[in-house]
Structure 1
Amino acid sequence: MQTKKIINDGNRAVDEMLEGILAAHPRHLKSVEGSPRSIVARDGPRQGKVGLVIGGGSGHEPSFLGFVGKGLADAAAIGNVFASPPPDPILECAKAVSGGAGVLFMYGNYAGDVMNFDMAAEMAAMDDIEVRTVLSTDDVASAPRDQRHKRRGVAGNFFIFKAAGAACDRMLSFDECERIAGKANDHTFTMGVALSPCSLPQTRRPNFEIGPDEMEIGMGIHGEPGIAREKLKTADEITNEMLDRILDEMAPARGDKVAVLVNSLGSTPLMELYIMNRRVKQRLDEIGVSIHASWVGNYCTSLEMAGASITLHRLDGELQTMLDHPCDCAMFRAG
């Protein structure tokens, strides 16, 4: 049975979405002429500043479009649903934001994205634009601890992009921007849970099957298999199971400080997210870890998938400064 969606044509959904986003946020966003999948901040790119280009597949809104603006990403290259953008729009983003100080590429660690962003970097080099890349690998469930370089980038992009964007906006050197981006990634840990599938606009059919009384811990944002399929539990039990895995790896000490993101995968309502956030705070209070800032809502979705993720971003003085640095994007503001 096909799912219901408010769309015109599944094959046009991404382009029509982009038209709507540009119409809604003309103060923040524009597209590169001749390259409608290259979305650039109206305020941000400037001479002498390291340019920050992010990007990935559609279907995760407000990632990646929502994080383009002053103080965060300078541009985002947009792919089809759950698919990497091709090299050309990535290259156009790099050209649009290059201020002579280098361009930093940041995106989730997926094979298609790596291949296409690397190709774009090679093409940019032919235009004398130096590009460096920092991958996000915050998904604790997607590979063992000793293989973190193989992990996927998921909702933790929120904090990782934020730190990198602040470093770039503060006109730090290319080396420093790259270092801070990598450090932010190393300090970010995410775990998700899925309760129901999503469906692509082109097919309108569920992209995986799960029982009415089941949940899957660790499922990826494209429906990649998780680490355990279990009977549905209470909100506190689910939150505990996710936090146990995050805290085991992060190994925080009493007195540490974190930022928290409780993220909907698409259809999970705020009521349920806030119930989970309540338990996150209880658990962190129990171990003496303080919360510097929290965000609850839709930040990295998977179309209409039911489920949620929890991200902890371990702060030191430098990362807290980057987190608190002002930014003004189409769908996100801070400071």
Structure 2
Amino acid sequence: MKKLINDPSRVVDESVEGFGLAHADLVAVHTDPIFVSRAGGARQGKVGLVSGGGSGHEPLHAGFVGLGMLDAAVPGAMFTSPTPDAIAPATVAANGGAGVLHIVKNYTGDVLNFETAAELADADGIEVRSVIVNDDVAVEDSLYTAGRRGVAGTVAVEKIAGAAAERGDDLAAVTAIAERVNANVRSMGVALSACTVPHAGVPSFELTEAEIEIGIGIHGEPGRRRIPMAPADEITEMLTTPVIEDLGIGGSDQVLLLVNGMGGTPLSELYVVYRTARRILEGRGATVARSLVGNYVTSLEMQGCSVTVLRLDDELTTLWDAPVHTAALRW
């Protein structure tokens, strides 16, 4: 294992410290317990958005703290859910008096710990609602979750709900927008290689040089099937077609197409995947109205990618286009 780390047990602490130093104009880092909030604190009268999860998926979630997206993010240990004692103060920090929305990827530990933190916040007089993101079409009931996993579609939920909060929507309206995005977004991923969690020191699963895993989870959970390595167009077809069919995309649909890297795949290869995924969508009659290509929900240094499709309407498109200024996403 070769990694630019010091002590494996200190990777998250040192990484978050460096992130805070690099983006001090955008975020404030809190260390005991560890969470990241917007620089300058919560905006009064605005619904606060909080998300979080195990580290190793950067820039998710801390990279999306800032104008137009999250108000706070809670990084857990590598591939490990954050604890309620960190989520609760992050919720307080995000509260501007209009309530707080928790955006939670559908992993059992995340769901339970965010629920506990919401109960603690409620006891402090903060109204909290939650949206569970479960966009992965690959498998139901994996190692980490009951039901579908939350993966790269989380970026769309955080961006669009964040824009709704920024324009002044109340908590019920922001929650409804987040739920609408989740209902209309689907993803599926592939791994060409495994990743190595620092404290483990060995790959999280085994793939030979001739194999790939279709439908992989962002923690290395098994996918739909393991197959021989294939050309990019064939792999992209295996990812994109189930997403389209699950959403029922066709005819007059306008969509956002996100090709997300898992951390170890060059951008040049992600654009090869995007090219084919777009062609497949357009072949079904859909219009790709918005696009995003890059590393947004990663799995350490895993080679691979995921394809995410969000069915858009006029309001969701307007909210996607609304200004955003975070470390990892800005326009």
**How would you bin the TM-score normalised by the shorter chain?**
over 0.9
Q: Answer yes or no: is 1:55 the counterpart of 2:52.
A: yes
Q: Answer yes or no: is 1:203 the counterpart of 2:192.
A: no
The equivalent of 1:22 in structure 2 is: 20
Q: Answer yes or no: is 1:182 the counterpart of 2:182.
A: no
Q: Answer yes or no: is 1:115 the counterpart of 2:112.
A: yes
Shift of 1:5: 0.7
Shift of 1:45: 2.4
Which of 3, 6, 15 is 1:5 aligned to?
3
Pick which of 71-80 and 245-254 moved more: 245-254
Which of 121, 125, 130 is 1:128 aligned to?
125
Aligned residues: 328
Tell me the distance in 2 between the aligned counterparts of 1:106 and 1:199: 27
The equivalent of 1:99 in structure 2 is: 96
- Secondary structure of the 1:229 match is strand
Shift of 1:234: 0.5
Pick which of 279-288 and 114-123 moved more: 279-288
The equivalent of 1:282 in structure 2 is: 279
The equivalent of 1:31 in structure 2 is: 29
1:183-332 pair list within 5 angstroms: 183-332=180-329
Tell me the distance in 2 between the aligned counterparts of 1:30 and 1:316: 35
For the 8 Å contact 1:262–1:308, the answer to whether it is kept is yes
Query: In structure 2, what residue type is equivalent to 1:189?
Result: R
- Secondary structure of the 2:138 match is helix
Which whole-Å deviations, capped at 9, do the CAs of 1:114-170 have from their partners, x for residues lacking one?
A: 1111111111111101111001000011229xxx98111001111111111111111
- Secondary structure of the 2:274 match is helix
The equivalent of 1:64 in structure 2 is: 61
For the 8 Å contact 1:163–1:322, the answer to whether it is kept is yes
Which whole-Å deviations, capped at 9, do the CAs of 1:168-199 have from their partners, x for residues lacking one?
A: 11110111011000000011110000111101
Shift of 1:47: 1.2
For the 8 Å contact 2:257–2:278, the answer to whether it is kept is no
TM-score by length of 1: 0.95
1:128-147 pair list within 5 angstroms: 128-143=125-140
Tell me the distance in 1 between the aligned counterparts of 2:251 and 2:183: 19
For the 8 Å contact 1:53–1:74, the answer to whether it is kept is yes
- Secondary structure of the 2:325 match is strand
- Secondary structure of the 1:56 match is strand
Query: In structure 2, what residue type is equivalent to 1:72?
Result: M
- Secondary structure of the 1:196 match is coil
Gaps of 5+ in 2: none
- Secondary structure of the 1:72 match is coil
Tell me the distance in 2 between the aligned counterparts of 1:35 and 1:260: 38
TM-score by length of 2: 0.96
Tell me the distance in 2 between the aligned counterparts of 1:321 and 1:117: 29
Which whole-Å deviations, capped at 9, do the CAs of 1:42-88 have from their partners, x for residues lacking one?
A: 26721111110011110000001111001100000110000111111
Shift of 1:243: 1.1
Tell me the distance in 2 between the aligned counterparts of 1:43 and 1:154: 30
1:77-88 pair list within 5 angstroms: 77-88=74-85
Shift of 1:212: 1.1
Query: In structure 2, what residue type is equivalent to 1:119?
Result: T
- Secondary structure of the 2:36 match is strand
Shift of 1:24: 0.7
Tell me the distance in 1 between the aligned counterparts of 2:146 and 2:112: 16
Query: In structure 2, what residue type is equivalent to 1:40?
Result: S
Tell me the distance in 2 between the aligned counterparts of 1:242 and 1:113: 26
Gaps of 5+ in 1: none
Tell me the distance in 1 between the aligned counterparts of 2:318 and 2:32: 35
For the 8 Å contact 2:95–2:126, the answer to whether it is kept is yes
